[in-house]
Copies of this chain bind each other. A is one copy, B any other.
Amino acid sequence: MTKHNILTPGVFVNTVIFQLINEELSVLLTQREDEPYKERWALPGGPVPLDESTQIAASRIINNKTGIQIKQLGFLEQLYTFDSIKNDPGVPAVSVVYMGLGKSITPKATSHNRNAQFYPLDQIPTLAFDHNNMIEYAHQRLKSKLYYTNAIFALLPKMFTLSQLQTVYETVMEDKFDKRNFRKKILSFNLINATDEQHMEGAHRPARLYKFNKHELEYLTRSFE
C-alpha cells in the first residue's frame, strides 16, 4: 500500500535557457514532434520518470533534445512549478520549470529532435502550453537575480570589456546606466579583475579586458542599482 490512493497530475519539467546572441537575450526552444501542439515551438521538456529527480530529468532532457550538456551552463536552478492550464490538451500535469544561463552554446540536432534554436526574446512565437508565460516569469526572475547576485558571470565570456558588461546588464534589465557610475559601482563590488590584455576592434581606442574572479553564484554585499 502506498501513502496515497488517489490519482495525481503528471510531473513534467521544462527549462528556460537564456543566452545572449548579438546582444539580445535569447531563449532555447525546440519544435515539438508529437501531439498535442505538434510542430509548435516549445521550451525543452518532458515527463519526469520515477527514478529521476526533477533536476536530473531537466539536465537529461536538455541534452537529449538540444545536444547541450549541463556543464556548458553557468548555472541551472529551479524557477517555479506551473499547474497545467485549464483548457490545455493532455492529462492534468504540473511542470517544474528550471532556469539556466549560458554563453556561446549551440544546439545540435539529436536523434530525439529535429529542431532546436535560440530565439531572441522579442521574436518568440506563440508556444505550446503556457510556455510564453514561463519565459516571462523567468526573465523577471533573472532581472531580480542580477540585483542581488553575481549571476551575470554566466552570460559573459571568460574575458570581456566593461562596455560589454554594461551592455549585458542593460539588455537583461532593460535599462540604461551612466558609464562612469556603472564602472565605479561594478568595480566596488570586487566581482571582476582587470587583466593586462586588451580587446582591439574597430577604429577606436582598444578596451581593457576583465574577468570574473568567481564562477559560482554569490550574493552581492549590497544591491545593484
Q: Are B89 and A6 in contact (CB under 8 A)?
A: no
Which residue of chain B is the closest to A94 with respect to CB atoms?
B11
Q: In the complex, which of the residues B1, B11, B91 contacts A9, with contact meaning CB atoms closer than 8 Å?
A: B11
Q: In the complex, which of the residues B2, B78, B89 contacts A81, with contact meaning CB atoms closer than 8 Å?
A: B78
Q: In the complex, which of the residues B54, B89, B91 contacts A83, with contact meaning CB atoms closer than 8 Å?
A: B54
A202 cross-chain contacts in B, Cβ below 8 A: none
Q: Are B50 and A3 in contact (CB under 8 A)?
A: no
Report A166 CB to chain B, min CB distance, Å.
22
Q: Is A177 an interface residue (CB 8 A)?
A: no
Q: Are B83 and A49 in contact (CB under 8 A)?
A: no
Report A80 CB to chain B, min CB distance, Å.
7
Q: Is the interface of A mostly helix, strand, loop or mixed?
A: loop
Q: Are A54 and B94 in contact (CB under 8 A)?
A: yes
A4 cross-chain contacts in B, Cβ below 8 A: 10, 12, 46-47, 90-91
A133 cross-chain contacts in B, Cβ below 8 A: none
Q: Are A9 and B48 in contact (CB under 8 A)?
A: yes
Report A38 CB to chain B, min CB distance, Å.
10
Q: Can you list 30 contacts pairing A with B, beta carbon distance less than 8 Å?
A: A1-B35, A2-B10, A2-B90, A3-B34, A3-B35, A3-B36, A3-B90, A4-B10, A4-B12, A4-B46, A4-B90, A4-B91, A7-B49, A7-B50, A8-B10, A8-B11, A8-B47, A8-B48, A11-B11, A11-B94, A50-B91, A51-B92, A54-B81, A54-B94, A55-B83, A78-B80, A78-B81, A81-B96, A94-B94, A223-B223
